[in-house]
Structure 1
Amino acid sequence: MNNQDWEILDQLSRHLNITKAAENMQLSQSTITKRLKQMEAGFDVRIVFRGKKGIHFTPEGEYLADSARSILKEYEVMKDTLWNMEEEVKGTIKIAVSNFLTSFLLFNVIRAFKEKYPEVDFQITTGWSRDMYDQVRNDDVHVSFIRGDYQWQGRKHLLFEETLCIASKQPIPLAELPASPRIDYKKDIKLDTMISSWWDVNFREVPRISMVMDKAESCREMIRNGLGYSIVTSLVVRNMEDIHKTELKDREGQLIRRGSWMFYHEKSLKLKAVRKFVEFIESYDPSRG
């Protein structure tokens, strides 16, 4: 057994799919299948069997997969500890980033940080903020970048705040919103709840949803072409002079704001590369992105 074998078992247990595991590891499916057969021969046990919707682990296979996770984690700790002893800042930082922040913030941050610390590598997971929150809560990553307010007992840093606004090609009187075509897009549940709560306070009618897009960027282009209005965060329509924005206010007349955060564990700062990255983010100005 080598490190790649443990990684194969870990990936298979996470996805229960040889194709997905092969894609994540940049290996061929035949390579993974061959290694599985060699592991089974070496241990003289059946590790997996195929079902209608992928693969399933035998009890022996589940034990090996659990062992794989422990061994890989211990290996990462050992590697990080060794690199931490060196004067040079190096190592691999595991981060989780919400989908929208990936395009708005991540690329510029990584590029700027790598210019300063070229020996540092990144292992990046992207997805919905809720899932990225679970990643740091479960200690699967060193740092998470999340949009929205989540209960967090560890260390955190407010990256920036944005407001919620009605975005349209032309100004729309508030009273006319229920009868106007609204363009929606897939968003995380916390943002959806914020928008729904504001709507319920101001209107009895349900919104007239004319179309639902898969991404905020697609929604923005529909707005730009005059096909309807949408309720979005200010970042979605930043620097777009051809789109009219009306900021939402709560019952007390205060702007409705949404924060974006960096979450991390105190213990992660023991790793030099992570500590330097956190310090870099805390002094980083997102407006230059």
Structure 2
Amino acid sequence: MDEKDFSLLHMLKECGNITHAADRLYLTQSALSKRIKAIERELGCEIVIRTRKGVRFTPEGELALERTAQARRELELLRRELGASQGEICGSLSAGFSINYSIVHLPELIAEYHRRYPRVQLDIVTGQSRTLHASLQTGQLDVAVLRGELPWDGMQYLLAQERICAVCTAELADRPLSELTYINHTTDIAHTALMTRWLHENNLGNDANRINVTDLMTCQELVRRGIGWALLPEIVLGGFDGCIRPCTFANGEPFIRRMYVDCQKESESLPQVRALIELIKEQYRADGDVPAAPLP
């Protein structure tokens, strides 16, 4: 077995289906099936069982997955340490970015990082913060930019504090929010609770006059078109020329949402990881956001 076989087994586990795994690995189903058989002959046991719902790993197969995951991590650590010893930033880096950050900042960030450190192999993932947080916890990511209060015991840096604003077009600015359609977007449980609190404190909890959408950018676009109003973070309001009112709770506390950079304990000393974190903070300093503190 080699590293390609390690990746093959883990892709098969992730997909749970020969067809989907073959597509992800750019193999034919026949080629993938033959390779699985070859691995089973080498190991001397059956590692997967084909069912109507896809494939399932046998107990021996689960053990092979565990051991190959360990082998992959050890090989990657060796490469990183060897790269660091050569005095040049290289190796690999797995990073996750929340969707909202990705839309606004990610292309510029990755372009500049690649220009500075072309020998680093990048594996970039975007998604909901809660999903990226789970990947960070299981070691699939070295570092992640996350929004909201998610528990983390590794290195954590407060990147920004965004105000949450009540937003509508200029044409609707003089009308009470209670008369307008509220456009709600899906977010994590903690932030949903804060939004609900603010709505109730301002007697705006009427579900009858509401549109629910799953993503923030659709929500923003509906506001731009004059459909109604929404609670939106500052990060998506660049260039918005309508009415923006920063929100405050009844006790005088500002309604904010924090953005963090979280990093694995095992990864924070790696040069390529530290370089990415510093570039993220440099980007925010250039944009006039929250000042960055030095890495510990």
The two structures have a TM-score, normalised by structure 2, of 0.87
Is 2:93 the partner of 1:103? no
Structure 2 residue aligned with 1:13: 13
Structure 1 residue aligned with 2:263: 264
SS at match of 1:208: coil
SS at match of 2:223: helix
Structure 2 residue aligned with 1:182: 182
For 1:248 and 1:128, how far apart are their aligned partners in 2?
23
Percent identity reads 25
Deviations 1:138-178 (A, max 9, x none): 3322111101122333222222221111121234568x434
Offset at residue 129 of structure 1 (A): 0.8
Structure 2 residue aligned with 1:164: 164
For 1:180 and 1:53, how far apart are their aligned partners in 2?
47
Offset at residue 104 of structure 1 (A): 1.7
Q: CA RMSD in A?
A: 2.4
More divergent stretch after superposition (163-172 vs 23-32)? 23-32
Change in 2 beyond 3 A, CA 1:277/1:62: same
SS at match of 1:268: coil
More divergent stretch after superposition (74-83 vs 25-34)? 25-34
Task: Give the gaps of 5 or more residues in structure 2.
Answer: 290-296
SS at match of 1:126: strand
Task: Give the gaps of 5 or more residues in structure 1.
Answer: none
Change in 2 beyond 3 A, CA 1:204/1:257: closer
Structure 2 residue aligned with 1:234: 234
More divergent stretch after superposition (149-158 vs 83-92)? 149-158
Offset at residue 288 of structure 1 (A): 8.1
For 2:287 and 2:39, how far apart are their aligned partners in 1?
51
For 1:102 and 1:77, how far apart are their aligned partners in 2?
28
Change in 2 beyond 3 A, CA 1:26/1:108: farther
Deviations 1:49-89 (A, max 9, x none): 22333211111111111112111111111111111111221
Change in 2 beyond 3 A, CA 1:116/1:31: same
Question: For the Cα contact (< 8 Å) 1:179–1:207, is it kept in 2?
Answer: no
Change in 2 beyond 3 A, CA 1:173/1:189: farther
The two structures have a TM-score, normalised by structure 1, of 0.89
Question: For the Cα contact (< 8 Å) 2:196–2:205, is it kept in 1?
Answer: no
Structure 2 residue aligned with 1:221: 221
More divergent stretch after superposition (205-214 vs 98-107)? 205-214
For 1:234 and 1:272, how far apart are their aligned partners in 2?
32
Letter in 2 for 1:39: I
Is 2:111 the partner of 1:139? no
Question: For the Cα contact (< 8 Å) 2:101–2:235, is it kept in 1?
Answer: no
Letter in 2 for 1:166: A
Question: For the Cα contact (< 8 Å) 1:178–1:205, is it kept in 2?
Answer: no
For 1:206 and 1:259, how far apart are their aligned partners in 2?
27
Aligned residues: 287
Offset at residue 227 of structure 1 (A): 1.3
Letter in 2 for 1:78: L
For 2:265 and 2:71, how far apart are their aligned partners in 1?
23
